Every structure is written in C-alpha cells, then in structure tokens.
Amino acid sequence: MIESPAAFIGVNDEGIISFGSGQPDLEPPKEIFENLNIPKLLKYGLIKGEPKLREALAKEYPAANFEEFVVTNGASEALDLTLRAIYKLHGPSQILICRPYYYSYPPLVELAGHTPIYTDLINGQIDLDDFTSKLGQAKAVIINSPSNPTGRVEKIETLRQIEKITAEQGTYVISDEVYKDLIYGRENYLIQGDHVITVNSFSKTYSMCGLRVGYLYTADKELLDTVVDIKTHTSMNTNVVAQQMALQATSVPKVIINQQTKIWEERRDFIYNGLKALGFDLWQPEGAFYVLPKIKNSNQVVSELYEQHNVIVYDGAWFGAPNRIRLSYALDVSKIEEGLKRIEEYLKDKKDWLS
Amino acid sequence: MIESPAAFIGVNDEGIISFGSGQPDLEPPKEIFENLNIPKLLKYGLIKGEPKLREALAKEYPAANFEEFVVTNGASEALDLTLRAIYKLHGPSQILICRPYYYSYPPLVELAGHTPIYTDLINGQIDLDDFTSKLGQAKAVIINSPSNPTGRVEKIETLRQIEKITAEQGTYVISDEVYKDLIYGRENYLIQGDHVITVNSFSKTYSMCGLRVGYLYTADKELLDTVVDIKTHTSMNTNVVAQQMALQATSVPKVIINQQTKIWEERRDFIYNGLKALGFDLWQPEGAFYVLPKIKNSNQVVSELYEQHNVIVYDGAWFGAPNRIRLSYALDVSKIEEGLKRIEEYLKDKKDWLS
C-alpha cells in the first residue's frame, strides 16, 4: 500500500510517465534570471519581505497596501503561519475544509493545534447549504478555487455568498488562490474583505516551485502582526535572492502568462477527451492542471500502474476522494498520450472498475 | 519602551552604529556564486534537501550518513521542526533552556505547544548541579555553545557530562551549534549520541544570512522522519538555488574560515578592552560575536542610545539577562571605535549604572 504522495517525491527515472507532481514543466520566463546581483542579496531582510516586492504585489490587489503582505516560503508556509496565528489569537478551533481537499490541509490544521471539519463538495462544487450549516462551528474556512485536486472553479455567485456569510459571522476565510492564473473559462474572482487571508504563490504561474516564494495578504492587522511575530522566530525572512526573482517575475508581460494558459487548455482538452474515450467518469477541469476521474480500487491502481506500467498517478483518497485518482497534466501532450496508452493497456481487463 | 529586537530589524540609516543584529559584515566567499546555473535549480526538490549537499555535510560529522540530515530554512526552521516533531511524538513537554538564551528559544518552545523551564547560567556557564536537578522534568534540553548572547563556550568536560546524563535519562539534546566555526580558544566540541539533534547554519560562517540555509542532523530516525513529514506540509523543500550555494560553500578552503576567525578575534579584543576601559563588567567572549556587559536600566539605555546617540544595542532582558545589554561586534573596528565613543559620551554622568 502506497500511503501518500511522499512515496513519489524525487522519483524521476527514465521511462516513467508521471501524472503525479504539480510541478509545471514549462520554461520559466527569462525575466526572472536577468541581471541578478546575488552578492548584494545575502543579508538578512525584513521578516515581512522586501518592500519592492510587496509594493509590486500590492498593485495586483484593489486598494491593497504593501504593509498588508508577508512573503513566505511558498504558499505552504503562508497557510501554516495563518493557522498558527489563529491558534495564538483564538486557541484551538475548528477549521472548515471543502472535501476533496489539497492533501496538506488536514495535517496543517492539526499541526497548528486545530481540528478539521469537512463539507463535502457536490460534483466538485461547494454545497452552500451544507457549508452554511457547518460555518457556525468554524473559526476559519479554507477555500481553494481553482481547486487542487478537482480542477474545478467555484461560481462567482457562490464565492460572493461565502464572502458575505463569513463576514456576517466573523469567520476567517483563508483563500488559497495559487492557481488563480491557471483558469480557462473566466478571470479569477478575488474573495475580498477584512476577514480574508489571501494565500498565493509564484510557483505555478512562473514555473519556479523550487524557489519556494509565496505570500499572504490580509487587511486584518492583528492577524498579520501575529503572523510576522511567529515568522520572526520560525524562519525569519524568506530567501532574499528568491524574492528578487519573484520581483522580476511581477514584470513578466501578461501576454506570456496568457500564452501559457493556451498550452494548459490544449493539454486539458487532450487528457479530458482521452480519459473520456477510455470510459472514465470525470469533471472537465476549469482551472489548475488536475483531473480527478473515478475508479474503483484506487490504491491498487496507483501501485499497479507504477509497478507494472511505469505510470505515476495519485490516489484520490489522499485528497479525501476515495475511488478516484488524481492526474496532473503538467507534462507534454506526447507524454500524456503515452501515459494514456499505458493506462488503457492496464485497464483492458478492468472495464468494470470505471462504472 | 522598546520591546524586542524586531524594533530594529531593517533599520539601516546612515550615521547609525549598530551593535544590534547578528549579521556578519564580512564578504561572503566568492566560491558560493561561481557558475550557478539558476534555470536548472527551479524545480521542486526532495523535502530533506539536495542529496549532494547532504553528502557534503555528512563528511563533516563522524560516522554520519547523508540520510540523517534535513536542510532547512535557516537554523530557525530546524529548531521549529524539531520542537514540533517532539510535540507530535510525545505531546506537550517541558523543554530545558539555559538562561541567558537566544531570544527565539522561549517563543519557539511555546509555539510548538511546550513549556520552557530554565536553568540559570553562572558567569555564562552551565551549572551542572542545577542543570541535572531540572533534567528529570524535561523531554529535551537546548544547548547553545558558543552562545548567543553570552559569547561564552562551555567546557568540554561539561559537554561530555551533559552528553552522558541526557543519554542515561533519554532526554533529547537540541544542540544549536550555529557558531561552531566562530570559536577562538579551541575547536568546537560536537555533542554526540543517538538522542542528539545538531542544528547548524551556513549564515554566520559564510555571511549568507539572507539565504536562510540551515540544517539539522540526527541519528534518531523516528524524530527525523517526523521532521520530514511536518516539513512536507509546512514549507516543502528548502530553496534549491540556496542549497546549491550552500553546497559550493562546503568547498570553501578552511584557511579562509580561519582568516575570518582572526578578524573576529581582533574585533573581540577591541570591544572587550574598550568596554573594560569604560568601566563595564563583562565576560571575555570565547566564541560567536557578542558581548553582554552589565548595566542598570538597560531598556532605558537601549532607547536613549538609539534616540540620542544613533547607537543600536539590544536589551539583555530580551535574552533573559536583565540589567545587561547585548552588543554584536559584527562590524568594522573603526565603527566599533566610533560606537564606543558615543557610549562613553552617553555614560559620562551615569558611571554608577555600571556597578
């Protein structure tokens, strides 16, 4: 039994087709490397992050001030610091998570001393009735649209409703928008309000995952100050060289990002149609680069596809979605094609697993 | 009232003499910048860190294996992860801290869900009787030799005793050795044993604080696996570019590090003799780059030196040492000289504060 994605981290052998990691394979934009003066970027920086980077970020958010941002070691640290700050301010709390979820959410909630509670998505979309019925118990909710692992995007009307009812109830919204630039049908909807903590990252948009630059943005000064106070002790400033590269990323022309989205859309169509043709039941992705098709015996599928066919997929159970598998399509169409062939071969005597 | 070092982080105005931050001003060795192929260093890496860096580190520790290392966002994250792992394995515990202490120790212990308990140093040295009497309550002890803020180094005999009694009692030793290369009288003594977690950093030795590369090393596999499991969710891999620079730092000739130690020794002598001449009562530093002289009304001293004389010093109270101030001598002798002149001017009607 393979128990978590950790089993596949760093597995990179020749011949393997990996639908595992959420690592974009696209070339990072050249702007991020230009004229880096590394010897000038080696001293301690401000805990919040370099002011120029925060000023550039503030321009991307309506009415934001650069002092409302904290640059972090990826979105992961932004989530961790936010949850720890909520613990410091309010003690152990219940945190509402939409299921299926990004697999780090439950452990992050627990590591910070809280308890996760869940609302189950219906067809990958928030069920506002169930969401609302659980909101009263929760100190915070985590929203992730576009979603990893579902690939779905919440309706703007749903996000507006969530904005409103959480504001009324005084519930924090932790809005993980790391896929906001990877959205096909429409522009991203930014969840707003004084009770919102927006979490974002440079990893996916600019193919710079290994640099670990993310950030959080909130107008809640008490929470922000608590985050900074915690980070002062737990990691200090985020790597200054990486912050400079992130600053340079903010001036990459929007047209380049849009071109990338076209590539993602082609791949999305290719894998969606390919899986449909194989008989899979799945949602058409609206954002991010994941599909989450149904299949019985999903953990056995993960093991056997890896061991017998050199294909990595992740068990939906790791994301709170048993009897599904997650495939990342952050790879070339020719590799997707080869991977689908191998899956077809594996499934030839297991057609009933798809129903 | 100035409440913490955070008040001075990023203060860098012309004309200020800062004895505040522990940021070495020496030039980083040129080896760390050479032939960096940044475009190849942008993908997710292993949570534990790049194998080549861990292999280089393993060579610096007797009988160590590269799988026993985790590369972290500075020593800060190594301490945080270790304390969180102890919580995950053993629940809320008491953690023994030697006082005066590095100012992040108590908040790190509390953030991880533990309670700090203290043993008071006598003349900056561990009092083995008191230490031993408190050991029974503690799940872990934090040792920091050479010490920030005292500048003192524990006797080898004391460290051997601690190694022995903690092993007997099954108490973890978290040995923060970030100043191991900044030691004047003798070589560093590495505390060893299966119950030891050695915490180290590239920041001080190689003047690369802003890159945030540290690591932990332990032969305790259960603890190590728990650390990796936590880091998978809280920050993922440490910045891969910075890890490459750290790898290149490991091949900096030892003679360069030794030359730096000579510079530190000159500065140490200059500030120690200068403060003595002004009438201060202080320990002669044996390692790191801090002095911790006695002075009454230390918080008032911190405020007034800053506001009236453009000199930054830190309040000893922030390190558990009231009625002392901490001065970092990580700055040029000419600046130390100017700073001492300003302190002399400030003290001219306050001689009785030194007794």
> Quick one: B204 and B342 in the same domain?
no
| Contact across the interface for A240 and B210, Cβ inside 8 Å | yes
Considering B249, B266, B296, which residue would you say is the last residue of a domain? B249
Q: How far is B240 from chain A (nearest CA, A)?
A: 6
Q: How far is A47 from chain B (nearest CA, A)?
A: 8
Average pLDDT value for chain B: 95
> Quick one: A64 and A198 in the same domain?
yes
Are B172 and B144 in contact by the 8 Å Cβ rule? The answer is: no
Nearest to B233 among A41, A73, A111 (CB): A111
| Contact across the interface for A235 and B77, Cβ inside 8 Å | yes
Q: How confident is the model at residue B13 (pLDDT cuts 50, 70, 90)?
A: confident
Q: How confident is the model at residue A104 (pLDDT cuts 50, 70, 90)?
A: very high
Are A280 and A294 in contact by the 8 Å Cβ rule? The answer is: yes
| Contact across the interface for B235 and A77, Cβ inside 8 Å | yes
| Contact across the interface for A211 and B240, Cβ inside 8 Å | yes
Q: Which residues pair with B311 in a beta bridge?
A: B17
Considering B249, B284, B309, which residue would you say is the last residue of a domain? B249
| Contact across the interface for B38 and A36, Cβ inside 8 Å | yes
Q: Compute the average pLDDT of residues B97-126.
A: 98
pLDDT tens by residue, A173-223: 999 999 999 999 888 999 999 999 999 999 999 999 999 999 999 999 999
Cα A261 to Cα A259: distance, rounded to the nearest angstrom: 5
Are A145 and A154 in contact by the 8 Å Cβ rule? The answer is: yes
pLDDT tens by residue, A27-71: 899 999 998 999 999 999 999 999 999 999 999 999 999 999 999
Are B239 and A211 in contact by the 8 Å Cβ rule? The answer is: yes
Nearest CA in chain A to B7: A46
- Position A323 pLDDT exceeds 80: yes
Are B179 and B287 in contact by the 8 Å Cβ rule? The answer is: yes
- Angle among Cα B15, B17, B19 to the nearest 5 degrees reads 160
Q: Which of B21, B27, B34, B44 to mutate to test the interface with A (most CBs of A within 10 A)?
A: B44
> Quick one: B133 and B209 in the same domain?
yes
- Position B7 pLDDT exceeds 90: no
Look up the CATH number of the domain holding residue A183: 3.40.640.10
Nearest to B104 among A9, A45, A233 (CB): A233
- Position A1 pLDDT exceeds 90: no
Interface pTM, i.e. ipTM: 0.96
> Quick one: A185 and A279 in the same domain?
no
> Quick one: B70 and B215 in the same domain?
yes
> Quick one: A77 and A141 in the same domain?
yes
Most confident listed range (A258-262, A290-294, B208-212): A290-294
pLDDT tens by residue, A4-20: 888 887 777 789 999 99
Q: How far is A208 from chain B (nearest CA, A)?
A: 5
Write out chain A residues lying below 8 Å of B76, CB-based.
Answer: 233-236
Are B70 and A235 in contact by the 8 Å Cβ rule? The answer is: no
Nearest CA in chain B to A202: B42
Nearest to A44 among B107, B209, B229 (CB): B209
- Position B11 pLDDT exceeds 90: no
Considering B231, B249, B267, which residue would you say is the last residue of a domain? B249
Write out chain B residues lying below 8 Å of A239, CB-based.
Answer: 73, 210-212, 239, 241-242
| Contact across the interface for B238 and A212, Cβ inside 8 Å | yes
| Contact across the interface for B42 and A73, Cβ inside 8 Å | no
Q: How many other C-beta atoms can be found within 10 angstroms of the C-beta atom of residue B38? A: 18
Sign of CA dihedral A199, A204, A209, A211: negative
Look up the CATH number of the domain holding residue A319: 3.90.1150.10
> Quick one: B245 and B264 in the same domain?
no
Write out chain A residues lying below 8 Å of B39, CB-based.
Answer: 27-28, 33
Percent of chain A predicted with pLDDT > 70:
100
> Quick one: A273 and A336 in the same domain?
yes
pLDDT tens by residue, B113-130: 999 999 999 999 999 999
Write out chain A residues lying below 8 Å of B237, CB-based.
Answer: 210, 212
> Quick one: B116 and B226 in the same domain?
yes
Residue of B141, B146, B201, B149 lying closest to B172 (CA atoms): B141
Write out chain B residues lying below 8 Å of A236, CB-based.
Answer: 73-74, 76, 212
As for how many domains chain A has, the answer is: 2
**Structural domain boundaries, residue A330:** 5-26+254-354
Are A32 and A252 in contact by the 8 Å Cβ rule? The answer is: yes
Q: How confident is the model at residue A78 (pLDDT cuts 50, 70, 90)?
A: very high
The owner of tokens 């062939």 is A341
Residue of A164, A149, A252, A168 lying closest to A208 (CA atoms): A252
> Quick one: B68 and B94 in the same domain?
yes
The owner of tokens 């995950």 is B88
How far separated are the first and last CA of chain A, in Å rounded?
Answer: 23
> Quick one: A191 and A293 in the same domain?
no
E strands of B177-319, at which residues? 196-201, 213-218, 290-291, 311-312, 314-315
> Quick one: B181 and B296 in the same domain?
no
Residue of B264, B118, B284 lying closest to B204 (CA atoms): B264
